[in-house]
Amino acid sequence: MSTSSSIAPRSARVAAVMAIFVVMVLTGCDVVPVPSPSPSGSPSAAPVYVDTYVEPEATDIAPLRGTTVPAGTVSGPALSAKVDNHPDARPQFGLEHTDIVYEELVEGGLTRYVAIWQSTVPDVIGPVRSIRPMDPDIISPYRGIVAYSGGQYRFVVLMQSTPVVNAIHGQTNTRDTFYRVRGRPGPHDVLVRAPQVIQDFGPLDAPQQSWSYALTPDASSAAKEGTPASVVHYRFSSLMWGTWTYDASTQRYYRQQANRGPDLDTAGNQLSATNVVVLRVEISHATGVPQTILNTTGEAWVATGGRVIHGSFTKASQNDPVYLYDDNGFTIQLGAGNTWVEMIPTAGSVTFE
């Protein structure tokens, strides 16, 4: 009796489970499987970072142009030369490669140049002429070498008394570097083998930077703070005058003198400049020839980037550079590039348009 009574409850439990299963099937209930644990995987790898920074090349500033050049390439002295500007001396050799040119009044209302090369030295420069009493004041701050054809003894002594090495036509140490070229009348025919002069009189240090430069003409003082000036008109005398005309496509001023059309060099390039500096200067005749008085303070203009800024210049002594200031007393920044300096007598004129 006891056995049959224990079986009955188990049968009842089985019947109940079966009934629940039938109900789940009939009602469409899903049987949700129990998920099995996923196998343990390895951790994700950390991202790999690659350094793409490229260190820029080291650079220096060309001292007489303000242009950026590879580090270690600023070497060699400034080479100055007294270059003829007589009509029989044109077109001149190497002027379009200059860093700086000073134009000065000489006898008869004519002009000559003190041309200075350092960044690029052409194979031949000239024609060279004789030294004048203001040239030591112009050239001394640049040190280096000066090449010229001679001159009055008193003026040669003045030039030789400066820190500049003198290379003079007709001396034994310039016999291989100065020569007369055929096809030009004397005395407008003396040329100079420029790289050989530097080699013969070197090694000498590079010049010091004396002017402040912006990286581009657009960033110069004149371009940012000046007034429009697409043409610079200058007059030294009734015989010598000219213009500088701005070309926005090249950001350069192009030279014309004495109504003779474009002023060209021997390669056919029109002479041009990034900066045109005008200094108003007194002229002394105490030495018997016109002498520009440069070691002083006076009025100045700087044209860069199609605009001009007014200011002043000052030069304290022979060995000091010419400093340029705006009307507020701040240093004028030129545009990086070459510069022509027109030293206009107070009896001359300069206008801008």
pLDDT of 218 higher than 50: yes
Question: Tell me: the pLDDT tens digits for 117-175?
Answer: 999 999 999 999 999 999 999 999 999 999 999 999 999 999 999 999 999 999 999 99
Please answer whether residues 323 and 302 qualify as being in contact, where contact means their C-beta atoms are separated by less than 8 angstroms.
no
Please answer whether residues 233 and 351 qualify as being in contact, where contact means their C-beta atoms are separated by less than 8 angstroms.
yes
In a domain, 161, yes or no: yes
Q: Name the band, by pLDDT with cuts 50, 70 and 90, for residue 55.
A: confident
In a domain, 9, yes or no: no
In a domain, 16, yes or no: no
Question: Tell me: the pLDDT tens digits for 322-337?
Answer: 999 999 999 999 999 9
Mean pLDDT of the chain: 91
Q: Could you tell me what percent of the chain has a pLDDT over 90?
A: 82
12/204: higher pLDDT: 204
Q: Name the band, by pLDDT with cuts 50, 70 and 90, for residue 32.
A: very low
pLDDT of 49 higher than 80: yes
CATH number where 105 lies: 3.50.90.10
In a domain, 163, yes or no: yes
In a domain, 49, yes or no: no
Say which range, 138-147, 250-259, 271-280, 339-348, has the weakest mean pLDDT. Answer: 250-259
Q: Name the band, by pLDDT with cuts 50, 70 and 90, for residue 35.
A: low
In a domain, 8, yes or no: no
The H or E element containing residue 223 is helix 221-225
In a domain, 282, yes or no: yes
Question: Tell me: the pLDDT tens digits for 59-106?
Answer: 999 999 999 999 999 999 999 999 999 999 999 999 999 999 999 999
- Containing structural domain, residue 191: 59-352
List of residues 6+ apart from 169 with CB closer than 8 A: 128, 148, 149, 150, 178, 190
What tokens were used for 78? Answer: 């400034």
Domain count, the chain: 1
List of residues 6+ apart from 306 with CB closer than 8 A: 223, 228, 229, 230, 246, 248, 251
In a domain, 39, yes or no: no
